[in-house]
Amino acid sequence: MEHPVHECVGRLRSKNFKAKKLLKIMEFKSILDQPHKRPIIIAGPCSAESEEQVLATAHGLKDMNVDYFRAGIWKPRTRPGNFEGSGRPGLKWLKRVKEETGLKVTTEVANANHVFEAIKHGIDALWIGARTSVNPFAVQEIADALAGVDIPVMIKNPINPDLSLWMGAIERIYKAGIERIAVIHRGFSYHGDSKYRNIPHWQIPIELKRKFPTIEIICDNSHICGERSMLQEVAQIAMDLNFDGLMTEVHPNPDEAWSDAKQQIKPDTFNDLVNNLVYRDPSTDDVEFLETIEQLRNQIDDVDNELLNLLSKRMKLAESIGKYKKRNNIAILQTDRWNEILEKTQAVGKLKGLSPEFIRTFLRAVHQESINHQEDIMNEVEEPKAR
């Protein structure tokens, strides 16, 4: 007889196999009942603090084409001792929002109990926060609680810049039978200095969209920025990148908010922000536009080719250097030379309109590739000479 653990492992294996097949055919549906051309708008306070605060915000937003009113009921705070949410009573306030304003409501869930309570109280959509999507056990618990339920779920990126973890959370929820899934890009934690509270790393959501072309992407400009002054700019970048919507924290009295006070804005300010956004079409059939863009793209392709030729030439030179160093038994890394290249190139790059940040990222990649080529040369096993 097969050992129960083996049986279990066998079952898990076949499940994993299915998950792989699923990945190819994952098709998502809109989180809106009736998808529209303008961006999806989600707005509301960081936390539901009191019935008055929740209703005041909702009434301030009700005439603004808001698709979902957001409010955190259970708040995952980085450090204890801060306001951790109103809990269950807050769900009744959201019910009143629905009754009084007709707005749909959404809240964050972090475990199975939150899912049950939210559904029981008629919450229209759920979201999974960044501190939860980072944890596959927690996401699986939520997925199991959602099995057989038809409700839109939005999945925030995990706090660390790990695309696979984000995709894993989406796959777990999808496998529970949820098809109305969107993702929320709220930026990523970091150590050091940045103008952002959470660095956007736009290439990560862009790559996610390439892997899951039918998924809607919402930009949470509030948690990316961490303060009000950049909210408009970040929302516009998201629109220019063809994101599907926006989630912004709105509070009737932002400075007095019990959580995330610096990044919240008043309903009227939010209205201005949305009205000031420039929306661009994803594509066009206009012949003149298509011809012009094709010509420019051809030129870009030529330049890319030249770049590749130059990079290949540079690597050949690195290989010659590798051979010479090997003959003289000299180490690959020469820090003084590397510092010199970094400094010189950043200065020249600046004159040519290239940011030091870009130059550093680019040069580091080139330097690493050059080291790899030299490594291959240095450690090449020489064929023994024929006698």
Site string for ligand PEP, 122-151 (x = CB under 6 A): -------xxx--------------------
Cβ of residue 366: shortest distance to ligand PEP, in angstroms? 35
Gyration radius from the chain CA atoms: 26
Half-sphere exposure of 224 (CA within 13 A, CB side): 27
Ranges within 250-269 binding Mn ion (CB under 5 A): 260
Q: Where are the alpha helices (DSSP H) in 69-185?
A: 88-101, 112-120, 130-133, 136-146, 163-175
By CB under 6 A, residue 156 contacts ligand PEP: yes
Rounded to whole angstroms, what are the CA distances from 240 to 161, 245, 274, 277, 281?
22, 11, 14, 10, 9
Residues 45 and 150: their CA atoms lie apart, in Å, by: 25
Helix axis angle, 51-61 relative to 88-101, nearest 10°?
Answer: 30
47: phi then psi, degrees, rounded to nearest 5? -120, 145
Ranges within 76-115 binding ligand PEP (CB under 6 A): 76
Relative to beta strand 245-249, strand 153-156 is: unpaired
Binding-site size, Mn ion (CB under 5 A) = 2
Residue 104 or 223 having the CB closest to ligand PEP: 223
Residue 121 or 223 having the CB closest to ligand PEP: 223
Angle subtended at Cα 163 by Cα 158 and Cα 168, rounded to the nearest 5 degrees: 75
Residues 238 and 246: their CA atoms lie apart, in Å, by: 8
Q: Which of 39, 72, 161, 267 binds ligand PEP (CB under 6 A)?
A: 72
Cβ of residue 33: shortest distance to ligand PEP, in angstroms? 23
Residues 273 and 264: their CA atoms lie apart, in Å, by: 12
Amino acid at 297: R
| The entry of ligand PEP, Mn ion, none that residue 130 binds, CB within 5 to 8 Å by partner kind | ligand PEP
Residue 245: which of 274, 208, 202, 211 has the closest Cα?
274
Ranges within 19-58 binding ligand PEP (CB under 6 A): 46
Window contacting Mn ion (CB under 5 A); options: 40-48, 61-69, 179-187, 355-363: 40-48
Residue 39 or 129 having the CB closest to ligand PEP: 129
- Please give the residue whose beta carbon sits closest to Mn ion in the complex: 46
Residue 76 or 122 having the CB closest to ligand PEP: 76
Rounded to whole angstroms, what are the CA distances from 33 to 67, 170, 246?
10, 20, 17
Residues 232 and 210: their CA atoms lie apart, in Å, by: 26
Residue 124 or 220 having the CB closest to ligand PEP: 220
| The entry of Mn ion, ligand PEP, none that residue 200 binds, CB within 5 to 8 Å by partner kind | none
Ranges within 243-272 binding ligand PEP (CB under 6 A): none
- Please give the residue whose beta carbon sits closest to ligand PEP in the complex: 129
In the three-class reduction of DSSP (H, G, I as helix; E, B as strand; rest coil), residue 299 is classed as helix
Residues 195 and 228: their CA atoms lie apart, in Å, by: 12
**Which DSSP letter does residue 250 get?**
B
| The entry of ligand PEP, Mn ion, none that residue 156 binds, CB within 5 to 8 Å by partner kind | ligand PEP
Cβ of residue 204: shortest distance to ligand PEP, in angstroms? 14
SS3 content of the chain, % helix, strand, coil (to 5): 55, 10, 35
| The entry of Mn ion, ligand PEP, none that residue 244 binds, CB within 5 to 8 Å by partner kind | none
Binding-site size, ligand PEP (CB under 6 A) = 10
Cβ of residue 44: shortest distance to Mn ion, in angstroms? 10
Cβ of residue 262: shortest distance to ligand PEP, in angstroms? 13
Residue 26 or 219 having the CB closest to ligand PEP: 219
Residue 26 or 42 having the CB closest to ligand PEP: 42
Token readout for 221 is 């400009």
Using CB under 5 A, list all residues that contact Mn ion. Answer: 46, 260
Using CB under 6 A, list all residues that contact ligand PEP. Answer: 46, 72, 76, 129-131, 156, 186, 220, 223
